[in-house]
Amino acid sequence: MAATEALRADNPESIESLSREAESLKARLEEEKAKLNDVDMCVVAQRLDNLAQFNIKPRRVLKGHQGKVLCMDWSSDKRHIVSSSQDGKMLVWDAFTTNKEHAVTMPTTWVMACSYGPSGSIVACGGLDNKCTVYPLSLEEDPASKKKAVATHTSYLSCCSFTNSDYQILTGSGDSTCALWDVESGQLIQSFHGHAGDVMSIDLSPTETGNTFVSGGCDKVAMVWDMRTGDCVQMFEGHDSDINSVRFYPSGDAFATGSDDATCRLFDLRADREVSCYKKESIIFGCNSVDFSVSGRLLFGGYNDYTINLWDVLKGTRLSILYGHENRVSCLGVSPDGTALCTGSWDYTLRVSILANLM
């Protein structure tokens, strides 16, 4: 009887003992991993030629939001952009002309997440309403007239992303979970539990199968999930504060993170560890958003000090600083063809820069 009592889950001594054992096992795993860590990526990359300094300037300024821009996403046509804002509006832009093609008023302010469907004919957004709402885009009809609430969480919606089709959407929330939903029926397909804090960002693997995604949150942890089973297959630690953004490397073998600890980091799935950290002593403000160039050689990071830092992924050095915004850079994204960078800010604007001659 006494032995049974000692093993009860609500026994403080049992919990403390299990915690110590878990920490001991974790330390042993780290030791074994360290033995395999025989070379540093930045050291190997020193034999490569240095990249030239880049001078990137905004070519278009998208004005129309009356509040802080919180999220943006490119359409697959490489021309249109959807953005969401604290003003409760979701806008669809023509990046070439800067014209607004659609404007949708949400039932709540702080529209924190938005995403284009792969077809380019549908968008999704959500925020403090705890829901993800899908809008079909048509020049003949008001998108709001055919809106459909697809997902409902128990806390705010922080991020959303369509899968490889318009028929499924992945969401992340302040309730510490991610979820996969059927767009047509609104039914929950799979839920993903494991984070100990708000989920702030998700990104789907660019591989052909597309069965995995990565998430990052306020528990300082990045997790890789199997969408078919709902299981966390890899977990990465290293940041000292909230992870605000995660983005897969173009090959799908690694991903980058941006954090409130003022660093960006690169984690390799095959090596099962962090392989590079992008930081400078002069950078003391958090990073809100990250994205790679099409080749994967460059990493863009949007920071709270109103700047975008451009990093050499292999060498770990900063190549350039992009200025122009008058408040924190909250979101950014490279166009699908890699020719343009769009940045969104708390200064109510989005800016589009040309990357045609970059890697």
pLDDT category at 2 given cuts 50, 70, 90 is very low
DSSP per-residue codes, 265-324: EEEETTTTEEEEEE--TT--SPEEEEEE-TTSSEEEEEETTS-EEEEETTT--EEEEE--
Going by C-alpha positions, the residue among 81, 121, 134 that lies closest to residue 344 is 81
- Higher-confidence position of 47 and 339: 339
pLDDT category at 79 given cuts 50, 70, 90 is very high
pLDDT category at 32 given cuts 50, 70, 90 is confident
- The CATH number of the domain covering residues in 48-354: 2.130.10.10
User: pLDDT value at position 21?
Assistant: 86
Burial class of 232 by CB neighbour count within 10 A (0 to 12, 13 to 18, 19+):
middle
Determine the Cα angle at 58 with ends 289 and 302, to 5°: 15
Judged by phi (left if over 0) then psi (alpha if -120 to 50, else beta), residue 251 lies in: alpha
pLDDT category at 241 given cuts 50, 70, 90 is very high
Average pLDDT of the segment spanning 91-95: 97
User: pLDDT value at position 6?
Assistant: 47
- CA distances (Å), origin 282, targets 27, 38, 279, 318, 357: 32, 29, 8, 12, 28
| Model pLDDT for residues 97-135, shown as the tens digit of each residue | 999 999 999 888 899 999 999 999 999 999 999 999 999
How far is Cα 79 from Cα 72, in angstroms, rounded to an integer?
13
Calculate what percentage of the chain has a pLDDT beyond 70: 95
User: pLDDT value at position 3?
Assistant: 45
Length reported for the chain:
359
Domain limits of the chain? 1-36, 48-354
What are the E-state strand segments in 184-278?
188-193, 199-204, 212-217, 222-226, 232-236, 243-248, 254-259, 264-268, 273-278
Q: Give the neighbor-by-neighbor strand order of the sheet with 148-152.
A: 113-116, 122-126, 131-136, 148-152
Across the chain, mean pLDDT equals 91
Residue located via tokens 């996403």: 73
User: pLDDT value at position 46?
Assistant: 77
Amino acid identity of residue 82, one-letter, is V
Asked if the model's pLDDT at residue 30 lies above 90, the reply is no
Q: Give the neighbor-by-neighbor strand order of the sheet with 58-63.
A: 58-63, 349-354, 340-345, 329-334
How far is Cα 232 from Cα 239, in angstroms, rounded to an integer?
19
Q: Give the neighbor-by-neighbor strand order of the sheet with 89-94.
A: 69-74, 80-85, 89-94, 100-105
DSSP structure class, residue 73: E
Going by C-alpha positions, the residue among 168, 148, 55, 54 that lies closest to residue 104 is 148
| Model pLDDT for residues 209-224, shown as the tens digit of each residue | 779 999 999 999 999 9
Asked if the model's pLDDT at residue 177 lies above 90, the reply is yes
pLDDT category at 1 given cuts 50, 70, 90 is very low
Going by C-alpha positions, the residue among 187, 143, 155, 154 that lies closest to residue 169 is 187
Token code pair at residue 151: 């997902």
User: pLDDT value at position 209?
Assistant: 74
42-56, 59-73, 114-128, 332-346: least confident range: 42-56
Asked whether 177 and 193 are in contact (CB, 8 A), the reply is yes
Asked if the model's pLDDT at residue 29 lies above 80, the reply is no
User: pLDDT value at position 256?
Assistant: 99
User: pLDDT value at position 357?
Assistant: 66
| Model pLDDT for residues 299-315, shown as the tens digit of each residue | 999 999 999 999 999 99
How far is Cα 80 from Cα 70, in angstroms, rounded to an integer?
17
Asked if the model's pLDDT at residue 353 lies above 70, the reply is yes
DSSP percent split of the chain into helix, strand, coil, nearest 5: 10, 45, 45
User: pLDDT value at position 38?
Assistant: 67
- H helical segments located in the chain: 2-7, 12-36, 41-44
- Higher-confidence position of 66 and 20: 66
User: pLDDT value at position 188?
Assistant: 97
How far is Cα 128 from Cα 95, in angstroms, rounded to an integer?
27
